[in-house]
Amino acid sequence: MLNVVLIEDEKDLNELICLHLREEGMSVQSFLDMPDLEKILQGERVDVLIIDRNLPSGDSIKSIQRLRTFGYEESVIFLTAKSKQEEVYEGFEHGCDDYLCKPFEMRELLLRLKAMMRRKLKDRLQYGDCVLLLGERECLYEGKSIVLSTLEFELLRCFFENKNETLSRQFLSESVWKNDTTSDKSINIAIKRLKQKFPFLKDKILAIRGLGYRLC
């Protein structure tokens, strides 16, 4: 599910966008003006921020520029009546990923969002509430960042990429440890520690006698 934050001060347009996004299965938080944006974005995972440049509190471009300076990397779409070429350039130069001029067709906004979703799905692996962001090499569990060692990240990645398949110890050794001589004891300990860090995996990663492990 795509998590969207919408900031649009035209109430009717705001409600219309929310309606269409939710009909497409997206989760939406909406506001009519710039709230404490940094607090919202830090509080939970936000995949796309859709924001009007012309808000009652002013041009939001400075806020986006500040977010990018602080390391916010998720997608930003400007919705705006500022349609001059220089204004479009300015939007991209200060941190937006897409720029949609008013008036616009709702279908176009939805298609742009779906294109973003396809790109994001290529860069992530998910199992239940656990998400691996491959590009950032980050793990999110229930929306919160979890610190993993390189070994733990690669072990989770290996299981997530091969759900419901029995993985031999040799396969795990070659894929995670990058050699074919890792002892069974080292693999067992690594999986045990992974289950301790993620208790929901305790009954999901099964030892298959004589064969290896399987994520069910």
The answer on 35 and 84 residing in a single domain is yes
CA dihedral sign of residues 159, 147, 115, 35: positive
pLDDT at 101 over 90: yes
**Exposure on the CB side of residue 161, measured as CA atoms within 13 A:** 17
With 0-12 / 13-18 / 19 or more C-beta atoms within 10 angstroms meaning exposed / middle / buried, residue 108 is: exposed
CATH of the domain at 22: 3.40.50.2300
Higher pLDDT, residue 207 or 44 = 207
Residue 51 contacts residue 77 (beta carbons within 8 Å): yes
pLDDT the model gives residue 13:
96
Structurally, the chain folds into a number of domains equal to: 2
pTM of the model: 0.62
The answer on 14 and 109 residing in a single domain is yes
Residue 61 contacts residue 91 (beta carbons within 8 Å): yes
The answer on 117 and 20 residing in a single domain is yes
pLDDT one-digit tens code per residue, 48-96: 999 999 899 888 998 898 888 877 878 899 999 988 989 999 999 988 9
Q: Please name the residue that has the structure tokens 């919705």.
A: 79
Backbone phi, psi, residue 12, to 5°: -65, -45
Residue 124 contacts residue 104 (beta carbons within 8 Å): no
Residue 26 contacts residue 69 (beta carbons within 8 Å): no
Cβ count near 36 (within 10 Å): 9
Does residue 103 have a cis bond before it (omega within 30 degrees)? yes
The answer on 59 and 84 residing in a single domain is yes
pLDDT the model gives residue 121:
65
pLDDT at 11 over 80: yes
Mean pLDDT of 138-161: 89
Coil, helix or strand at residue 100? strand
Coil, helix or strand at residue 189? helix
The answer on 149 and 88 residing in a single domain is no
The answer on 163 and 143 residing in a single domain is yes
Average pLDDT, the chain: 88
Q: Tell me the residue type at 142.
A: E
Q: Which domain range does residue 196 map to?
A: 125-215
Backbone phi, psi, residue 52, to 5°: -75, 140
Report how far apart the first and last C-alpha atoms of the chain are (Å, whole number). 22
C-alpha–C-alpha distance, residues 152 and 176, integer Å: 9
The answer on 145 and 109 residing in a single domain is no
Least-confidence region, from 33-37, 82-86, 116-120, 180-184: 116-120
